[in-house]
Every structure is written in structure tokens, then in C-alpha cells.
Amino acid sequence: MLNWDSIFYSNVRRTNAFSFVSLNRFINMKYIFSALCLSLITSSCMSATLDIDSACSSKALDFPGVPISISNKIGEKTRSVSSKSDMSATLNKIADVADIHVTTATLFIDSESDLSFLHYVRVTIHNDSDESNELVLSDAAFSNQNLPIIVDKDKLATMLRNGPVTMVFTGTGNIPTASTSTTTTFCIGVSAHSSKSIGDISKH
């Protein structure tokens, strides 16, 4: 018969009922060994998540004006401008150790000038090494400086990791003859997740 008070309390005198055999059975080495094995097995893997709220690329762009020769023609005009950026080194550094996902993407056009002449903006993106494969980042009426992003984020992540990209901004509206200075800021949020066993880590 096991006397619990004897086990738990140091100031309780052990009685004859206390049995070393029972205690020995209770803390049988097999159970302790099993508990240790359980700890080691469960602790033999690790997982980590890294969240970067924003990685941003900012560029100054001069949005071109329309030639005077066509400025008086009736109807909206369309002009385009392109901007290059390269986040591949940053993303690939992270991708070397973890699976990365683009969680958010934002595109912002800022200008000290009035941009109300823009009625519609379409933004496409392509890798410099593969111009035929382009994605539409945004394609909407221009209502504020934050352009709505419609691109599939997994495809965007693949493209951004592949190397330098070019974004082509195409604006439609009552475009003035003079160029307009703007700053475009393209941001992505990145989540990187890695799960590894101790075996995997030791291989590296």
C-alpha cells in the first residue's frame, strides 16, 4: 500500500504501510524512459514562421504628358510609363531557408500634383527576362492613390523571385501636355514558414 503523504511531504513520518516496492513500481524506470522518449520524439522537430509586414520598393516616375498636337482632340488619352524594381535577392535569401508566401500587396501612387486627370489606371508586371508572361496587378477606375491589387499572390511571388521586374503603368484620362512627377510605392507582405526535423538541420 502506497502512503502518499510519505511521498509528498517531508515532515510526515513514514508508516509501516509505506512500501518501497510500491514506490519502486510507481516510478518504474520503464515509465520514466517512456516519458523521456516521448519528450525527445516530440522535440525532434521545429517549426518557425517569419512575418514581414512590408517590403517596399519606391520609384520616382514622370508620368508623360500628351503631345500638344493631340491634346486638343476630343476624348480621353492614354499614356504609359514603366518602372523597374528587383526584390528577388531579398526574397530568395528568405526562400533559401523557408517556404515564402506573399500575403499582401499594395501599390500606391503619390504626387504633389493633382492626379484627378487620371480616370483609369492599368498596371501590369513582367519579368525582364520573360516579357511575354505578364500579370495584371491592377485594372480599375482611378479613385484614390491606393490602387486595388487583383493579381494572384502566389504567381506574383514566383515572378518577384525570378529576377528584376518591370511594372507598366497605363493611365487613361484628360492627360495634360506636361509630364507629372509621381512616386510609386509597391509593397508586399511576406510570410515565411519552415518546419524541420533535427535530422534535416544536421544535414545542413
Partner 1 sequence: MKSFMRAFMFSGLVVALVCGVGPAFADAPSVPFKVGMFFDVSVPSGAALGIETRLPRVPWFKLGFAGTYTLAPGIRGNVLIDPIKFPIAPIANIDVGHQFPLTLPGVSNSPDIDFTYCDLQGGIGLGNRDGFRFMIMAGFSYLNGTARNFQRIAFAQNITVSDPHFNAWIPNAKLGFNLLF
| Interacting residues with partner 1 (CB under 8 A) | 5-12, 23, 26-27, 30-40, 42-59, 85-87, 89-90, 198
Beta carbon nearer to partner 1, 15 or 58:
58
Check: CB of residue 183 under 8 Å from CB of residue 43: no
Beta carbon nearer to partner 1, 55 or 81:
55
Collect all residues with Cβ–Cβ distance below 8 Å to 158 and sequence separation of at least 6.
none
| Burial environment of residue 141 by CB neighbours within 10 A (0 to 12, 13 to 18, 19 or more) | exposed
Cβ at position 67, least distance to partner 1 in Å: 30
- DSSP for 133-170, written as a single string: EEEEEEEEE--SSEEPP-S-HHHHHHHHHHS-EEEEEE
- Work out the end-to-end distance of the chain between its first and last CA atoms, rounded to an integer number of angstroms: 53
Helix (H) or strand (E) holding 100: strand 99-110
Nearest CA to 105 among 136, 80, 74?
136
Beta carbon nearer to partner 1, 52 or 81:
52
Check: CB of residue 170 under 8 Å from CB of residue 149: no
Beta carbon nearer to partner 1, 14 or 76:
14
Cβ at position 6, least distance to partner 1 in Å: 8
Cβ at position 19, least distance to partner 1 in Å: 13
Cβ at position 179, least distance to partner 1 in Å: 21
Cβ at position 86, least distance to partner 1 in Å: 5
Beta carbon nearer to partner 1, 76 or 128:
128
Give the pairing type, strands 45-63 and 180-197. antiparallel
Beta carbon nearer to partner 1, 40 or 141:
40
Cβ at position 17, least distance to partner 1 in Å: 16
